[in-house]
Amino acid sequence: MLPDYSRYYGSVLTHIVDHCLSPITVARLNPGTQGYYVLGGKVPLHIKFSRSRKGPWAFTFHRDHQIQYQKIADEYGDCILALVCGKDGIAALNFAQVREVLDDHFEEQEGISVRRKLNHMYSVGGTNGRLSNKVARDSLMQHVSRLLGQKVLFASDEDHTDSEPAEAPLG
């Protein structure tokens, strides 16, 4: 039987592979470290999931998880955090956004909460604050595109298969 995390991690990785317009490599970042991958050999990705069917979706971060995330972000210059919100979608944050909601003074346990109203973007808050901007439903691919410099297919492009896919901004 497959563990729950395989389904959630697989949904994120499948989403990335399906939306990149050129081949991308995916590898586990460190053996024994659950939920960390590296994309294209240079962009770290950390996946967390909430099983809740409806929001708000809660994500727990223990001190050792935050220390590990910080080390990886320091080593690579950034780290995408993909928050799988049940079957609703994926809210992705970069390192700077994570620090807006979880500061660098790590408590024993802290958390991030994600909410979304019907037909709206995600609102993200954490133990130490709220993001000033909403998070788009295609935020994962925005971060992947920016950090890898790859063209990607955004969700809005899927509705217009007769036209060229939009390119994500590179900077």
The DSSP 8-state label assigned to residue 20 in this structure reads B
pLDDT higher than 80, residue 155: no
pLDDT higher than 90, residue 96: yes
In the predicted model, what is the mean pLDDT of residues 38-60? 95
User: CA–CA distance from 159 to each of 8, 65, 149, 164 (Å)?
Assistant: 25, 38, 24, 11
120/128 Cα distance (integer angstroms) = 23
Classified as helix, coil or strand, 66 is helix
**What pTM does this model have?**
0.87
Q: Can you say how many angstroms the Cα of residue 132 is from the centroid of all Cα atoms in its chain?
A: 18
pLDDT at 169: 39
141/156 Cα distance (integer angstroms) = 12
In the predicted model, what is the mean pLDDT of residues 115-125? 95
Domain boundaries, the chain: 4-158
Name every residue whose Cβ is closer than 8 Å to that of residue 141 and which is 6 or more positions away in sequence: 15, 16, 19, 152, 153, 154, 155, 168
Considering Cα of 143, then 149, then 150, then 152, what sign does the dihedral take? positive
Q: Which of 7-16, 97-106, 151-160 is least confident?
A: 151-160
Pick the more confident residue, 67 or 157: 67
Pick the more confident residue, 58 or 21: 58
Mode of pairing for the β-strands spanning 57-62 and 43-50: unpaired
**Residue reference for tokens 């989403």:** 15
Counted residue by residue, the chain has a size of 171
161/69 Cα distance (integer angstroms) = 37
Classified as helix, coil or strand, 64 is helix
Q: What percent of the chain has pLDDT over 90?
A: 73
Domain 4-158: give its CATH architecture: 3-Layer(aba) Sandwich (3.40)
